[in-house]
Structure 1
């Protein structure tokens, strides 16, 4: 009996979803595509902005040891890890290591140029969320306006009609607005979170790599 009731509830839920799509028309399918796109971008950015891909702890600790404590063994490990370029920090460190014989100003300029390039890469995909944030609510309103227009067109041919029927028609038309907002809200949350995370990484990278640049510049001046 319990199994039968569960199956009936599941069938009822699927029927409601199907009805919801039917009420929204083709715009509901466009909004579904937007929701899938949003989910794909969120998953991609969550992986892309993982700590191991941007600022791995082991490399950061070695840079801190080399810069703040003059640990030559740590600097050697930094050089080895930077050559692989498996993270944003490693690639920025690689710029410092490769230009170790240049002046501090030239090293900083090269690091800033590379850092700008890396930040742009980190922001890749977030533009899709920008589009969804703007387009999804507008599509919802478009579907609602279209639905309400259809409702009033139908009423004009029916003459005197109860308000309850009109309200039901407007409620159906509002389904696309609900769907549009449901798609846009997660996109806004993801957009805000990922932008904040990138800003945090950018400030941390500036400090860590800046310390390394200062150490390399100071060592070169002492040697000269």
Structure 2
């Protein structure tokens, strides 16, 4: 703990916003990790239960989906199942609207991480510049120099290096978290499309009873 405090002091004022960005990065990462852990650990079982039940009992499948409203996939499946005898087009439209809404929610934190990835290296660069300015201000060209002056010069160089490294570390961590979220989001888009197609196919084949057209009723 003392070592971290010393680094913050040596890095200068730029270390304070970098510390704030690192806290935001870690908080966002933990929040998204918990969200994706809950979703990925439960959605496969839920989808199997809903699709398996939908073949024989659509109302029971709806109840299963309704009981999983805390999960995006549960809300996605419940949206079309709660409708009363919809046409396949309405069934699919409700599913697509719910899917788009849930996939947008899954992008939570991406803008924040993108900002941190862009800003953290710039703050590190700012610390580098201020550190070098401090170094040159304490550097006496052609003079003998004292131990105190040499210490000030070394401190300025240390500030420049510390802030540069801190900015890069924060940006790298934020970028890794961001890329992981983007990858998981892309996989969920494909999964939602696959599950939605299977549910729509079950509804069309098993449950949809089209109204008789005038020509067919006359025949």
SS for the counterpart of 1:160 is coil
Pairing 1:130–2:117 present: no
Shift of 1:179: 0.5
For structure 1, list consecutive stretches of 5 or more residues without a partner in the other structure: 1-12
User: Which of these residues, 77, 87, 91, is aligned with residue 107 of structure 1?
Assistant: 91
Indicate the residue corresponding to 1:141 in structure 2: 125
Instruction: Tell me how far apart the structure 2 counterparts of residues 113 and 143 of structure 1 sit (CA, whole Å).
Output: 47
Q: Report the counterpart of residue 35 of structure 2 in structure 1.
A: 48
SS of the counterpart of 2:138? helix
Secondary structure of 2:85 counterpart: coil
Aligned match of 1:4: none
**CA distance in 1: counterparts of 2:38 and 2:189, whole angstroms:** 12
CA distance in 1, matches of 2:86, 2:190: 24
2:196 matched to which residue of 1?
A: 209
* Structure 1 position 206, deviation (Å): 1.3
Could you tell me which of 55, 61, 79 is aligned with 1:95? 79
TM-score (norm 2): 0.82
The RMSD of aligned alpha carbons is 2.6
* 8 Å contact from structure 2 (residues 50, 64) kept in 1: no
Matched with 1:186 is 173
1:41 Cα deviation from its structure 2 partner: 0.3
In the alignment, the residues of structure 2 paired with residue 173 and residue 114 of structure 1 have an alpha-carbon distance, to the nearest angstrom, of: 50
- Bigger helix fraction: 1
Q: 1:161 & 1:98 partners in 2: Cα distance?
A: 84
The CA distance in 2 between the partners of 1:119 and 1:54, in whole Å, is 18
TM-score (norm 1): 0.80
Partner of 2:62: 79
Pick closer, same or farther for the CA change 1:116–1:54 going to 2, 3 Å. farther
